[in-house]
């Protein structure tokens, strides 16, 4: 498998230049201009468009097993590819909940057989999200992340024990900052839980990752923790940097404009490590009945390119950093950079193309999005995984 990507603008967190990429055996072997190659190489003509490392999503819900009427591994993977993603991390709130090795192995086996994107299954912090009894983390050698996503670990004692146990096995706990206060005041709930867990991570020297940070004070708690040497990272979602004062039901809720400004400042100054979609498919009926969440994989690049690069003149290299490098770096995988020796997971995008979001054309089973019919800039033209073209749009 030999390919060469020509006529490209190469962008990652460190570079923005015209160049070519030579690919052999699924990896990048050379980057430069006017690279030499023979007839054994397949040419991928980028036609002057931007080539970036494929995107990495730390936080998606593929609803498989248990809720496959909303999404499954295949449709979720196809949705990811259309959005420029080749690596995703699926949350554990499936049915059964992924807190046992049988469920974990089943998901990972089926994902590998699909051979579409790299799916990394997240394991629950506590047995069946009971908030008390820790999963035996030693059994999940290849699982990097732990999360009771959708519920949050309410007990301080449980979280204390979980951080210590995760530290023993070099795993990262992903924090869903909710508490008993959430139904009363989502903002205070998120802020208090963030403060609690950053403090615990500091005292216990553990590793935590804050999911979908959405408030000024929560972001500031992460920023302060980082300055103090706490092993804390965080993500924000495309919808939390694009919308404010909006009643569309997501969890955490859409915040105020001042929160949006703070989150974007956090992306620029490096407090925010990654953008994650929190892709949460629902049927129209479930959504009408109040289920929180939106599908985000197929609109993420256009939203972030529009809101950060086009509207605020933020360097596109920063966009690559939070959409590709940040997640890959946290996972410890050789993706997220255009660099020799890294996997040839690439996305070709037209950063200037004006699009109108059409949810009826999503590859996802679900169509729940507040961005339907919205005009944005940026289109994914091709997604390449390990040198193999997995998605090709009108290009």
Q: Is residue 394 over pLDDT 90?
A: no
At 357, is the pLDDT very low, low, confident or very high (cuts 50, 70, 90)? Answer: very high
Q: What is the mean pLDDT of residues 326-345?
A: 98
CB 346 within 8 A of CB 384: yes
- pLDDT value of residue 151: 85
Please determine, for residue 395, whether its predicted confidence score (pLDDT) is greater than 90. no
- With tokens 């301080």, the residue in question is 156
Q: Give the pLDDT of residue 193.
A: 97
> In what order do the strands lie in the sheet containing 274-275?
145-146, 172-175, 207-210, 231-236, 274-275
Cβ contact 217:262 at 8 Å: no
Phi, psi of 115 (to 5 degrees): 55, 45
- Identify any residues that bridge with 16 across adjacent strands, giving them in sequence order: 11
Q: What is the pLDDT of residues 183-203, one digit of tens each?
A: 999 999 999 999 999 999 999
**Domains of the chain from N-terminus onward:** 2-51+344-355+374-392 (2.30.40.10), 54-334 (3.20.20.140)
Nearest CA to 99 among 160, 56, 162?
162
Chain centroid to CA 227: 24
- Mean pLDDT score of the chain, rounded to an integer? 97
Q: What is the mean pLDDT of residues 234-238?
A: 98
Report whether pLDDT(290) > 90. yes
How many CB atoms sit inside 10 A of residue 270's CB? Answer: 13
Q: Is the pTM value of this prediction over 0.85?
A: yes
Model confidence over 156-180: pLDDT tens digits?
999 999 999 999 999 999 999 999 9
pLDDT at residue number 361: 97
- pLDDT computed for residue 152 by the predictor: 87
Residues with catalytic roles = 278
């Amino acid at each position: 498998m030999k390919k060469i990507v020509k006529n490209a603008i190469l962008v990652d967190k460190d570079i923005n230049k015209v160049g070519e990429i030579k690919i052999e055996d699924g990896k990048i072997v050379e980057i430069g201009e006017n690279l030499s190659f023979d007839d054994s190489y397949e040419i991928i003509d980028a036609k002057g468009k931007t080539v970036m490392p494929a995107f990495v999503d730390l936080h998606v819900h593929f609803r498989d097993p248990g809720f496959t009427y909303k999404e499954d591994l295949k449709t979720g993977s196809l949705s990811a590819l259309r959005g420029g993603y080749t690596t995703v991390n699926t949350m554990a709130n499936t049915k059964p909940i992924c807190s046992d090795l049988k469920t974990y192995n089943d998901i990972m086996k089926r994902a590998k057989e699909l051979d579409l994107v790299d799916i990394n299954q997240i394991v629950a912090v506590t047995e069946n999200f009971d908030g008390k009894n820790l999963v035996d983390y030693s059994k999940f050698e290849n699982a990097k992340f732990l999360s009771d996503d959708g519920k949050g670990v309410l007990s301080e004692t449980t979280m204390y024990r979980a951080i210590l146990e995760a530290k023993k096995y070099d795993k990262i706990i992903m924090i869903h900052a909710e508490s008993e206060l959430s139904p009363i005041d989502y903002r205070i709930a998120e802020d208090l839980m963030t403060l609690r867990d950053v403090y615990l991570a500091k005292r216990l020297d553990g590793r935590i990752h804050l999911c979908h940070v959405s408030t000024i004070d929560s972001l500031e708690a992460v920023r302060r923790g980082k300055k103090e040497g706490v092993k804390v990272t965080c993500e924000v979602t495309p919808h939390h940097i694009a919308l404010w004062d909006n009643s569309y039901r997501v969890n955490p809720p859409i915040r105020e404009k001042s929160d949006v400004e703070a989150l974007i400042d956090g992306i620029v100054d490096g407090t925010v490590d990654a953008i994650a979609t929190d892709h949460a498919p629902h049927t129209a009926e479930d959504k009408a009945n109040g289920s929180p969440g939106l599908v985000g994989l197929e609109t993420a690049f256009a939203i972030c390119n529009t809101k950060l690069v086009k509207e605020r003149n933020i360097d596109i290299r920063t966009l690559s950093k939070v959409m590709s490098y940040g997640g890959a770096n946290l996972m410890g995988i050789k993706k997220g950079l255009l660099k020799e020796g890294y996997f040839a997971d690439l996305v070709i995008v037209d950063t200037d193309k004006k699009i109108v979001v059409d949810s009826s054309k999503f590859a996802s089973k679900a169509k729940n999005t507040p961005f339907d019919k919205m005009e944005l800039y940026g289109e994914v033209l091709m997604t390449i995984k390990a040198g193999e073209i997995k998605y090709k749009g009108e290009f």
